[in-house]
């Protein structure tokens, strides 16, 4: 069940915590599509958001550790969609690679980079001993 973060003004944000399993990418994708529909955004924006958040979730499942990941879908302003995945691997940071034609993996962050206005990560917790990281992306809405 999604946690809804109501605001006095603007759009609600959504977040869910799920087991760190392969199914989480599909769940994250559905959350993004549902949130975009609730916000009245067009299919094009919903599809981009779904692809980006599923790639972020897939990377967390594949490269992090710990039992769960947190998926965040938010709309901080009328023209922005914020997508993030929180995991427990603060030192395993995302790196944008250049996959070759024959490579079967390594394209996820290339897609995130192409669809996002900006993306990055933040370590969470004390500077010397972070407990996790949040990998995030921001998209411009197309209304």
Q: What average pLDDT does the chain have?
A: 89
Query: If you count DSSP H runs as helices and E runs as strands, how many of each does the chain have, helices first?
Result: 3, 6
Average pLDDT over residues 51-67: 94
- Domain hosting 91: range is 3-140
Using only C-alpha atoms, what is the Rg of the chain?
Answer: 15
Cross-strand bridge partners of residue 124: 132
Amino acid 11: pLDDT: 84
Average pLDDT over residues 17-25: 96
Amino acid 44: pLDDT: 95
pTM of the complete model: 0.88
Q: Is pLDDT at 91 greater than 80 in this prediction?
A: yes
Q: Which two tokens stand for residue 116?
A: 């996002």
Q: What is the CATH number of the domain that holds 19?
A: 3.30.565.10
Amino acid 31: pLDDT: 97
Q: Tally the domains of the chain.
A: 1
């Amino acid at each position: 069940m999604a946690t809804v973060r109501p605001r006095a003004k603007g759009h609600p944000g959504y977040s869910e915590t799920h087991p760190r399993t392969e199914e989480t990418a599909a769940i994250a994708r559905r959350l993004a599509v549902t949130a975009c529909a609730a916000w009245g955004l067009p299919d094009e924006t919903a599809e981009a958001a779904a692809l980006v958040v599923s790639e972020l979730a897939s990377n967390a499942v594949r490269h992090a550790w710990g039992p769960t990941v947190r998926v965040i879908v938010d709309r901080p302003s009328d023209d922005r969609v914020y997508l993030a995945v929180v995991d427990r691997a603060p030192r395993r940071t995302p790196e944008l690679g250049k996959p070759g034609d024959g490579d079967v993996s390594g394209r996820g962050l290339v897609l995130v980079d192409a669809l996002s206005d900006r993306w990055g990560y933040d370590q969470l917790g004390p500077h010397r001993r972070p407990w996790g990281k949040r990998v995030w992306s921001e998209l411009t809405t197309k209304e």
